[in-house]
């Protein structure tokens, strides 16, 4: 069994496992974990009062974080004609049709997000077995199947995050880097929470937001008092 490093143990000792922190307190504590070796990612895990086994309680969507994620996403776009030019002008890293699909079929997956115009889904649909398991399949529910390709590319480049509730009722999402200021992290997290609240299924009963944990790549989780949000 792998042992935790000294830095992790030292950071874990700073966290009161019995306490639920306010968002402000949690972010300040998280930033004290910062490592000199690399800029860690910051993620949240939100436990929702939903049962994803029921279609009417599935929570899925996307949000453009006001300060981005700190990572520049590589975007491919399946389009043709004017939309191909539009995608290139918007900053897409790779644009194409059949030839791009073949490249992916042959094993190339050097990108983070995929966008497609509706008329290209016949081509993209054949890539389902490759893109689906990796969470890369374009989907109209998160705005990646659209004729507004310029807007889609710019939003992704600006820090758009897709999320989907897992079987256990938990949503995982990146919200920035540990080098971000406390204010930027708080604004990103608040924006995500507001989006999740807007997506609350009508059939969800009782407490909707039941648990919230903030963590960095190499750090321990910090429980947050959902009432403070």
With a CB cutoff of 8 Å and minimum separation 6, the contacts of 229 are 23, 190, 193, 209, 212
Confidence of residue 103 (pLDDT cuts 50, 70, 90): very high
Domain 75-158 in the same topology as domain 6-69+160-228: no
* DSSP, residue by residue, 89-148: HHT-SEEESHHHHHHHHTT----SEEEE-GGGHHHHGGGHHHHGGGT-S--GGGT-BSS-
Whether the predicted pLDDT of 2 surpasses 70: no
Confidence of residue 76 (pLDDT cuts 50, 70, 90): very high
Confidence of residue 4 (pLDDT cuts 50, 70, 90): low
* Domain spans of the chain, in order of start: 6-69+160-228, 75-158
Q: Could you read off the pLDDT of 122-145 as tens digits, one per residue?
A: 999 999 999 999 989 999 988 999
Whether the predicted pLDDT of 120 surpasses 60: yes
Whether the predicted pLDDT of 43 surpasses 60: yes
Tell me what the mean pLDDT of segment 171-188 comes to. 96
Architecture (CATH level 2) of domain 75-158: 3-Layer(aba) Sandwich (3.40)
Instruction: Out of 3.40.1110.10, 3.40.50.720, 1.20.1050.10, 3.30.190.20, select the CATH number for domain 6-69+160-228.
Output: 3.30.190.20
How does DSSP classify residue 202? Answer: T
CA distance 219 to 34: 9
CA distance 221 to 14: 11
Tell me what the mean pLDDT of segment 49-55 comes to. 92
Whether the predicted pLDDT of 3 surpasses 70: no
Share of the chain above pLDDT 70, in %: 98
Tell me what the mean pLDDT of segment 51-80 comes to. 92
Backbone torsions φ then ψ of 42, nearest 5 degrees: -120, 130
């Amino acid at each position: 069994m792998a042992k935790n490093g000294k830095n992790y143990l030292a950071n874990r000792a700073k966290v009161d496992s019995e306490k639920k922190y306010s968002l402000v307190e949690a972010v300040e504590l998280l930033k004290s974990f910062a490592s000199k070796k690399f800029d860690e990612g910051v993620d949240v895990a939100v436990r929702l009062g939903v049962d994803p086994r029921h279609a009417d309680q599935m929570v899925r969507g996307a949000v453009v974080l006001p300060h981005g994620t700190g990572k520049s996403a590589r975007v491919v776009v399946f389009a043709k004609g004017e939309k191909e030019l539009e995608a290139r002008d918007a900053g897409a890293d790779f644009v194409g049709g059949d030839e791009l699909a073949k490249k992916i079929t042959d094993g190339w997956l050097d990108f983070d997000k995929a966008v497609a115009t509706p008329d290209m889904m016949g081509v993209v649909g054949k890539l389902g077995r490759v893109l689906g398991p990796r969470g890369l399949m374009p989907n109209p529910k998160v705005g990646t199947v659209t004729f507004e390709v310029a807007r889609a590319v710019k939003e992704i480049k600006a820090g758009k995050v897709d999320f989907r509730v897992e079987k256990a009722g938990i949503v995982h999402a990146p919200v920035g880097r540990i080098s971000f200021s406390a204010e930027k992290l708080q604004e990103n997290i608040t924006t995500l929470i507001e989006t999740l609240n807007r997506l609350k299924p009508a059939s969800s009963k009782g407490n909707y937001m039941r648990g919230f944990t903030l963590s960095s790549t190499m750090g321990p989780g910090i429980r947050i008092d959902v009432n403070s949000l």
